[in-house]
A and B are shown apart, each in its own frame.
Chain A
């Protein structure tokens, strides 16, 4: 009896040791059969979510813990499945935009743009240059707001980074409000804008807007340094460096995009590689990092804020004159009809490649099929690969660094 206990504890110690010292050759097996695991009898099953402040919405992951080390993680999605794609099939083309706002609710502008770009492509509608500038500007401002929200919640997941609970979160929301004020000034809404339409934008830049944009951007740029002061902290670095490393190979295999891919050392950004809007006129600096860990993702996102500030300034300074929309104001739901064809449009949302695939058909009143490719779902696919061999507290940091938005992951 005593000897078996000694053996099993020894086996457990060795297995724990083995998983504590990750080597390059160690590939966590997301399909690990727990029956084959040495200490299977001692595993603790822990269900994280669907309601947990650090799961960023309603994401659930079942963890199998050996001591404090995770040996297996099984993600569950679908707690926010709202049937958006199905709903789009019921709506006329001009009514789809406000629905897709709610899809990725941290970056609604990007969803609107993706949908309207795919409609315009099938309808053959040209977007005036001014509208293209405004769309690019809105996308870049939205990127700043989205990354700020990510930074705040990520720091909160790590315990406030200063040990102060929600301090960084509060600072980040202060700056995010500045961007939301800009959007409110333009569209009248803080959140779900519905400002894009087929052929351009609904709202033109009001008088005095450029000065407001500059003012807000100056404030945000100055305050970014404050974040660095708060976050460049040994505790923060210890908790993010070497945690949740994704190498380039795994990132490509999982279909990660956006900051996650760039933090793994792959130089890919749709804004530069497949330019849309007026990104071909701009010189976008693509920010990469070789780390692949949470710290690299943090650095990439923070530098992307700075880059977006630079681009926004350029865009608002060089705004061309002209019409904002090339189509007539909406007179009824039957104004736009697409009877055949299909198209796929991908744009770089703050979280990565946001794809919209549309099949048109039937009487042309509503989409036959609308498929969205949400970057968050692919980011969550990394969870079974990243969580094993990390501790429970690291799991929260990893999940935060992936920046999942369940609205678009579950759709």
Chain B
């Protein structure tokens, strides 16, 4: 199978157009029909909530009675196969990231991804932890970033409106501006907490073996490259803690 075309270049024509153009006298209506379809596509975004943690609860609040995303036509569905938008709400761990990627791949085109909360954007304060992915955009492309820890339901709604603007642009065939991910930290830094420090605590005399490095590399499935030619000496080692006197 050949590679699918670049998403940003793809034109999503509705098959209805072909039919319309063949019916005499109806081509003048195409513009209005197009507007209707654009309106429909913008206001019927079905959301697949990839809700893993706290942000998921706030996303539920946004979908529930007070803010009510249904007003914007955004329905919440529990299955990826019927949805247009994936909202990644919450911390994504190394164990969870492949699953998120798989669910994303199951969604039909055209699809959109929203990263909600600092954890989904950058890993937040968990980014130094051995098990946390520093931002979901290392695994799947993100269209809209909603900052906050957690974002208010109103902020979620603002994010949804921004997404609707993008949908409109894409349907009109105009260039869709890509949102910049807030650059908060250097993502090439290997997370330190909890990996090397424990070895040091246990004695720390043994140098890091090739097998250990390999497993560390496998843990870092995060889309950023392991620095070339990494060796034991260059591996960050946190200073050992003193044993407490109990």
Using a CB–CB cutoff of 8 Å, the interface residues on chain A facing chain B are 50-53, 57-58, 78-83, 86-87, 89-90, 99, 102, 105-106, 149, 152, 169-171, 173-174, 176-177, 180, 190-192, 340-342, 359-363, 368, 406-407
Contacts and interface: CB of A to CB of B under 8 A. Distances in A.
A51 B152 contact: no
Nearest to A89: B241
B53 A90 contact: no
B95 to A, nearest CB: 5
A83 B53 contact: no
Given A191-B54, A359-B246, A361-B246, 19 more contacts: A79-B95, A80-B90, A81-B93, A87-B126, A89-B241, A102-B53, A105-B53, A105-B57, A173-B60, A173-B65, A173-B66, A174-B64, A180-B61, A191-B57, A341-B246, A361-B241, A361-B242, A361-B245, A406-B53
A102 B58 CA distance: 12
A407 B53 contact: yes
B53 A53 contact: no
Interface of A is mostly: loop
B54 A79 contact: no
Contact of B54 (A89, A105, A170, A171): A105
A169 B76 CA distance: 13
B20 interface: no
B95 A78 contact: yes
A341 to B, nearest CB: 8
Contact of A340 (B60, B103, B246): B246
Nearest to A175: B65
Contacts of A99: 125
B164 interface: no
Given A83-B126, A83-B193, A57 B56 contact: yes
Interface in B187-246: 193-194, 241-246
Contacts of B66: 173-174, 177
A102 B100 CA distance: 21
Contacts of A368: 241, 244
Interface of B: 49-54, 56-58, 60-61, 64-66, 78, 90-91, 93, 95-96, 99-100, 103, 125-126, 128-132, 149-150, 152, 193-194, 241-246
Residue picked from B64, B126, B131, most chain A C-beta under 10 Å: B64
A79 B244 contact: no
Residue picked from A52, A102, A341, most chain B C-beta under 10 Å: A102
Contact of A81 (B95, B103, B193, B241): B95
Interface of B is mostly: loop
B193 A87 contact: yes
Contacts of B245: 340, 361
Contacts of A83: 126, 129-132, 193-194
A99 B193 CA distance: 15
20 contacts: A57-B51, A57-B52, A78-B93, A79-B52, A80-B52, A80-B90, A80-B96, A86-B129, A87-B125, A102-B54, A149-B57, A173-B60, A173-B61, A173-B65, A174-B65, A176-B61, A191-B57, A342-B246, A361-B244, A407-B53
A373 B172 CA distance: 54
Contacts of A90: 128, 193
Given A170-B64, A177-B66, A58 B54 contact: no
Given A81-B131, A87-B193, A173 B242 contact: no
Given A57-B52, A82-B126, A83-B131, A50 B58 contact: no
Contact of A82 (B64, B65, B91): B91
User: Which 10 residue pairs of A and B lie closest in terms of their CB atoms, listed nearest first?
Assistant: A361-B244, A173-B64, A105-B54, A53-B78, A83-B129, A86-B194, A174-B65, A362-B242, A170-B65, A368-B244
Contacts, number: 117
A53 B79 CA distance: 9
Given A79-B95, A83-B129, A177-B65, A361 B52 contact: no
Nearest to A191: B150
B87 to A, nearest CB: 12
Contacts of A176: 61
Contacts of B131: 81-83
A359 B246 CA distance: 8
Contact of B193 (A51, A86, A106, A406): A86
Given A83-B194, A149-B57, A51 B99 contact: yes
A189 to B, nearest CB: 10
Contacts of B242: 361-363
A192 B119 CA distance: 14
Nearest to B194: A86
Contact of A177 (B57, B61, B93, B125): B61
Contacts of A361: 241-246
A83 B53 CA distance: 14
A360 B78 contact: no
Nearest to A364: B244
Contacts of B93: 78-82
A44 to B, nearest CB: 20
Contacts of B61: 173, 176-177, 180
Contacts of B149: 192
A341 B130 CA distance: 28
Given A170-B65, A173-B64, A362-B242, A51 B58 contact: no
A57 B53 contact: yes
A21 B117 CA distance: 48
Nearest to B90: A80
